[in-house]
Amino acid sequence: MSEAPKPFPPIEPYDSGRLDVGDGHSLYWELCGNPQGRPAVFLHGGPGSGAGAHHRRLFDPERYNVLLFDQRGSGRSTPVGSLEANTTWHLVADLERLRRMIGVESWLLFGGSWGATLALAYAETHPERVSAMILRGVFTGRRQELDWFYGSGASLLFPDRWADFIEQIPEAERGDLITAFRARLTDPDRAVQARAAAAWAGWEGRTVTLKSGMGAPGTTAGDGTIAFARIENHYFLHDLWLEEGQLLRDASRLAGIPGTIVQGRYDVVTPAATSWALHRAWSEADYRLVEGAGHAFSEPGVLAELMAATHRFSGADEAALARKEEDA
């Protein structure tokens, strides 16, 4: 049996900068790999988290030209944590600006969780600009998905961690936790924001892997965690500016786009029912259900499938076959 593919060695960007997208927002971006390689864009999760150096290692630097960027208000983009002019459709428009900036006709989209949501929203809006997609832990923003994670679904599996999550919310407000946290994450008192952000991020952080090593969450949070929690809550409060079931309803627009969907069997953040429904609606997608894995891209089985997918779409196999035929 061949060894599972592993992340590529760390690399540095060959170019980076900032793009003014209007509305007071400036996006950090970077390009990595081979400028002549297959164009790809990495869409980080959250929303609100940001791209990191470890994400560069998912792509063969000899075969891919990868754009990584921090979405509005996230990571190194400014203003950090801003909720103004920050919606799904602003981000779809930003992707088009970035594509034109680097001068490619189409590109491969790589996204997990919220990154998969954004990839689907973009691909269903601009299918002619998408050469392929690699999606992980698919989230489509339906009410049942939000109710599962912020209601009576995942809480049944993690009652102790759920208790920590809702501790600071009065009983009378627990029927709508997203709204209750919104009030605290936008409170003028930074200390109130920090306590709410610690609880919000702690709940997600303690359920994202199959076997979590995280202990009880902290009682306060730094600027990055506050920004993440504010933006993620902001999107969920507004149902991601999507019509109910929109991304699955419009999956027919993905016809002709090849893809791979990677899903952890025991993903409790974005349960497999959603990715399975997408697979049924998008026949070109190869579905990889990983046993013994949760939501995080770092889960060994999930990471192996993601690496295998970037390898397949890199054209490496075709190049090796061509060399073999030349040598024959």
Q: Any idea which residues carry the catalytic annotation? A: 113, 267, 295
Residue 224: Cβ within 10 Å count: 17
- Residue 291 burial by Cβ neighbours in a 10 Å radius (0-12, 13-18, 19+): exposed
Decide: helix, strand or coil at residue 114.
Answer: helix
* CA pair distance 200, 321, nearest whole angstrom: 49
Peptide bond into 7 cis (omega under 30): no
| 55 to 9, 28, 129, 288, 306: CA distances (angstroms) | 11, 15, 22, 20, 11
Residues 63/315, Cβ–Cβ less than 8 Å: yes
Decide: helix, strand or coil at residue 158.
Answer: coil
- Which two tokens mark 165? 């999550």
Helical (H) or strand (E) element with 289: strand 285-290
Residues 250/124, Cβ–Cβ less than 8 Å: yes
**What is the DSSP track for 171-200?**
GGGTT-HHHHHHHHHT-S-HHHHHHHHHHH
Residues 66/59, Cβ–Cβ less than 8 Å: yes
